[in-house]
Amino acid sequence: MTLTELAIKRPSLLIVLFLVLALGGIMSYNRLGYEILPRFTPQLLTITTVYPGAAPNEIESQVTKKIEDQLSNQNGIVSINSSSFEGLSLVSLELSNDASLKAVKQDVIAKINSLQSLLPNDAQTPTVSELSFNDLPVLRISATADLTATQFFSELKNRIIPQLSQLDGVGSVELLGGEEREIRVNINQDKISAYGISILQVNQAINNANLDFPTGKIEAGKTQTVIRLTGKFNKIEQLKDLIVATSRMGGTIKLQDIAEVIDSKKDIRNINRLNGKEAVGVQVRKRTDANSVAVSKAVRDKIAELENKYSNINLKFVVAIDTSSFSLEAAEAVQHDLLIAILLVALVMLIFLHSIRNSFIVMVAVPCSLVTAFIIMYLAGYTFNLMTLLAMSLVIGILVDDSIVVLENIYRHLEMGKDARTAAIDGRNEIGFTALSITLVDVVVFVPFLLLTNTTGKLLAPFAAVVVVSTLMSLFVSFTVTPWLASRFAKAEDVKTKKGVWGRFVRSLEIGIEHLSHFYAAALSRCLQHKTITILFIVAMIMGAGQLVRFGFIGDEFVKQGDQREFIIKLEYDKSITFQQNNLTTKQVEDFLREKPYVKSVFANVGGSSDLINLGNSNNQSEINVKIYPNEIVEKATDQAATECQMALQRQFPQIKITSAKPSFLGGNEDDPIEIIFSGENPDSVLAVVKSVEKTVRKIPGAIDTKVSIKEGFPEVNVSLDRDKMAKLGLDINLVGATMQSALAGNDKAKFRDGFDEYDIKVQLDKFDRRNEADVAALSFINNKGQTIRLDQFASLSYGISASKLERKNRRSSVTFKSQVLGTPSGNVADAIQAEMDKMNLPKNIEYSWAGEIKRSKDSTDTLLAVLGIAIILIYLIMVALYDSFIYPFVVLFSIPVALIGALLALALAKSSFSLFTGLGIIMMLGLVAKNGILIVDFTNQLKEKGLNTIDALMESGKTRLRPILMTTLALVFGMIPIAIAKGAGAEWKNGLGWVLIGGLTSSMLLTLIIVPVVYLTVDNIKAWFGKLGANKKKIERMSVAK
């Protein structure tokens, strides 16, 4: 008993099976979360080492190079890139695709731990971490209240933020800006010199007097009491009255005698403003495995609760940036496309099958297949994201393919006079092999994606899984549910008996299809008579389509950037600017931007950055996130608005370097699309080459905002020690360094207690005593004899410029060149840059490599081309196995190149570029267009087995299969239309994919019906010729034997 016969004879078994699947699908659907992209962690590790106060060249020599040398022979590492900043070393490790991230990480941690003893004493323990895009902030919130600035910050930090941190899915909550309370001990240089006291002695006195001790317990009878010594400072007077030393005359020296002790606030290094109103910024990051939409909702619900709870201080939160909103909008947009696709496919079915009953029989395959996909998504840990939802939208037309083919054949048997049950069994059995072939070639093109280990594979695997599972389930539905429903409800449709407007429409349609069939038969007959001309004409069309790429009608980029209706303005001031000056000027820039009619909101982060790797605050930089109104309110492209604002600001504030950037849909700002890393032994030579490249690139159309990673550093005072004098004066380098660090940077190890909260006690020279070079020269030290020694007695001071950053690639000095693009695909700009660099005759000892988006684009293109080749081979091998022939599957493959004609033409007309998504569309197209060839070849073989000659079989096959080919192709095309013309969040990514499939399917439908029969006849003629040749040879051999 076949599967179809079992379904028809025992439908209860089928009903129970799909009820169970439906229940599982509904439960899985409700548990699936939302994300913008599938979760994946790139093969990257970062090693961060903090070395306070060290210059970049010290960081490089004493920390970065040692870490690089230690890891140089580690297996699994492809490249080592490093950057040395002021006080920070950052080493990035790129791992091979087949390396285990966890295993390599463990090895790296072990090697770094063994290196710790060789690093400087003041360097902190290096931190090894995985670089995950999921670590970017989900929410940025502006918080205000009716409290003083320091009171509000304390309330936020100690009581409010911990409540947000406890929410499910929240990884960390950070405060940006605000005024944090700090107890300042401002040391007077003259007084400590007069008393003969070192600032180190002051630190030690404060630390020794600021301790709590659990001293034991006392017992009395059956009770015991713990005795605790509480020595922590909790009043400013206690600190002022602290005796720090004894004078030479024997008197006591209190802290207030040598310093000003005040209840103050920390130096402000970061300010956040939303629409000109200053507030404390709250930045929420999710856990790597958490769902951004769920985290956003939980945080929004919690802050509403907190506002009500702390209404007595008028606590208010305003969400400035929510990256999950774009994820949700993109997901809802695809769901909208999915619904429209289902309706359009249902309409196509209704038109071709003439009745709601028949359309229902076919469309039932859609929910039956999708519920299974929900179950697999949940079990595999996938989410509703751009890839999985896009797969569902695109697969709608595919899900009805098998049922269309099966039902159309059942109706053909009904028209022969068979009863519904017999027609269902015979019709399915006759077409079953063809349906299996169609499904397998649809599925097999996606199998390689499930086996890939690189970034492209991880990104596309969920897409492939949804398509494979739902398509295979649609095959099962066509073998069971479709014939069962047909056996119960199907009946031969006589269009002549239909009445009314619908009847007239259906009859007109059938007449049109009949005329089309006659026209096609005549055209096919002529093409079969002129095979050579037909083949040459189609080859010319394919070559002509290829010229669209050659002449630049189709660009090249990794992923087309989505329009999130916001952009980022970056401000870079002169290195010598103070934070206060930065803040005042940035406020003027904000006011300027808010005057623009299309600007909805302005969120400023003074001194901060939204980069994935946050290197701390900087006095000379600020970042402004600008949101503009939706297109429905103000018709202005985001790129146009960003460029207009940047140019206007540059004219208004010529002293600032102003650049614009697009926000990443993952959070933060998008990397520059053009990125080239130059490396060599001599850093000065590398920098000179990069600057010459920058001059050349500035002349290339489409390249804007060029920049070089190595910039002029900050002004610094170099202190050169005379070690002989130091030794004679009884000083050592540790004492000198520690004293200078405490005097200039301050020491905040001691804590001040106020109730349950603790605040830093910062001991530092008064600002008046650390204003210029003379103040540094006057710093005093106490030697081993108790004598006061000035810095200028054993050291000389000079001005200089420190490098702000040093880079290395694979243990060689490097410099990175970056550029934005405007109005031209990044791949085209990269090609133009490469052509110019080829003309420049760069020094042979200088190497360069593309990075960033261009590298990702090249990697994805290589991956897609490899998958394309594998997919074609697998399609061919599957058909060989199914048809037990190596020749006729080769004929089917001719339907693929004719599909490229329409695909490339559609891309050019839609002004789209070749990208990751369009490449995915071309691969998906392979299986879809091959089905047309399979339908023709399979039926032709059946007719030849019944005794028809090749030409008659091809003519009959073409006319008979014209209708199902039209139905399946139009169902697919109409299912793709919502994707191709979509607007809103994420539309730019999927439009190109939709146009590729529409163009490819259309040209394949029109040309496969011609080229496949022509090639089939050509191949048959060649077989016949070889057959005659073999027969003649055997005849000659028999005659020779007879003689």
Q: Kindly report the CATH number assigned to the domain that includes residue 885.
A: 1.20.1640.10
Q: What is the mean pLDDT of residues 1016-1034?
A: 74
**281 located within any domain:** yes
Q: Residue 333 domain-assigned? A: no
1017 and 869 housed in the same domain: yes
pLDDT exceeds cutoff 90 at 495: no
| End-of-domain residue from the set 472, 491, 510 | 491
Residues 756 and 648 in one domain: no
* Exposure class string for 727-766: b at 16+ Cβ within 10 A, else e: eebebeeebbebbbbbbeebbbebebeeeeeebbbbbbbb
| Per-residue H/E/C for 151-200 | HHHHHHHHHHHHHHHCCCCEEEEEEECCCCEEEEEEECHHHHHHHCCCHH
Are 639 and 737 found together in one domain? no
In a domain, 195, yes or no: yes
* Domain interval for residue 52: 44-131
The 8 Å CB, 24+ separation contacts for 892-895 are: 892/930, 892/933, 892/934, 892/937, 892/1012, 893/930, 893/933, 894/933, 894/1008, 894/1011, 894/1012, 894/1015, 895/929, 895/930, 895/932, 895/933, 895/1004, 895/1008, 895/1011, 895/1012
**Distance from chain centroid for Cα 778:** 54
Is the CB of residue 509 less than 8 Å from the CB of residue 434?
no
Q: Residue 152's pLDDT band (boundaries 50, 70, 90)?
A: very high
Read off the pLDDT band of 441 (50, 70, 90): confident
Mean per-residue pLDDT, 429-452: 83
**672 in a domain, yes or no?**
no
Of 559-568, 665-674, 710-719, least confident by mean pLDDT is 665-674
Q: 900 with 978, same domain?
A: yes
- pLDDT computed for residue 592 by the predictor: 93
Q: Where are the alpha helices (DSSP H) in 445-480?
A: 447-451, 455-479
Distance CA 764, CA 770 (A): 10
Of the candidates 299, 80, 68, the one whose C-alpha atom is nearest the C-alpha of residue 171 is 299
- Of 279, 281, 271, nearest to 607 by C-alpha is 271
DSSP 801-835: E--SEEEEETTEEEEEEEEEE-SS-HHHHHHHHHH
Residues 99, 221 within the same domain: no
What number of CA atoms fall less than 13 Å from residue 344's CA on the CB side? 22
Which of 390, 161, 400, 396 has the alpha carbon at shortest distance from 285?
A: 161
Total number of domains constituting the chain: 6
**Residue 346, Cβ neighbours under 10 Å: how many?**
20
The reply to whether 449 and 382 lie within a common domain is yes
What confidence tens digit (pLDDT) does each residue in 229-277 have?
778 888 999 999 999 888 877 788 999 999 999 999 988 888 888 888 8
Does 822 reside within a domain?
no
Q: How many helices (H) and strands (E) does the chain have?
A: 36, 32
Q: What is the CA radius of gyration of the chain?
A: 37
Range 467-479 burial, b when 16+ CB lie within 10 A, else e: bbbbbbbbbbbbb
Q: Residues 454-464: what's their mean pLDDT?
A: 84
* 432 — pLDDT class (breaks 50, 70, 90): confident
Same-domain status, 969 and 994: yes
At 1043, the pLDDT band (50, 70, 90 cuts) reads low
> Domain with 783 in it: what CATH number?
3.30.2090.10
Is the same domain home to 91 and 162? no
Q: Which of 131, 162, 195 is the last residue of a domain?
A: 131
- Mean pLDDT calculated for residue range 533-544: 90
Of the candidates 281, 311, 326, which is a domain's last residue? 326
pLDDT for 765 equals: 93
CATH code of the domain covering residue 143: 3.30.70.1320
Which residue type, as a one-letter code, is found at position 165? S
Q: Residue 823's pLDDT is what? A: 75
259 and 272 both lie in a single domain: no
User: Would residue 361 count as lying in a domain?
Assistant: yes
pLDDT tens, 864-908? 888 888 888 888 888 888 777 888 888 888 888 888 899 999 988
Instruction: With respect to residue 844, please indicate whether it lies within any of the assigned structural domains.
Output: no
What is the CATH number for 596?
3.30.70.1430
DSSP string, 58-82: HHIIIIIHHHHHHHTT-TTEEEEEE
For residues 827 and 913, the answer to whether their CB atoms sit within 8 Å is yes
Can you give the pLDDT at residue 32? Answer: 85
What pLDDT, on a 0 to 100 scale, did the predictor assign at position 302? Answer: 94
Question: What mean pLDDT do residues 268-289 have?
Answer: 87
3-class DSSP state for residue 469?
helix
300 and 404 both lie in a single domain: no
Model confidence at 453: pLDDT above 90: no
Confidence label for 496 from pLDDT (cuts 50, 70 and 90): low
Answer whether residue 509 is part of any domain. Answer: no
Based on the fold, state whether residues 878 and 1013 are members of the same structural domain.
yes
Span 1005-1010, average pLDDT:
86
Chain centroid, CA 499 distance in Å: 56
Share of the chain above pLDDT 70, in %: 94
Quick check: 76 and 104 in contact, CB under 8 A? Answer: yes
DSSP H/E element including 318: strand 316-322
Q: What percent of the chain has pLDDT over 90?
A: 21
**Are 80 and 21 within one domain?**
no
pLDDT tens digits for range 604-638: 989 877 655 555 557 888 999 899 988 778 888 88
Q: Mean pLDDT across the stretch 26-51?
A: 83
Round to whole Å and give the CA distance between 897 and 539: 9
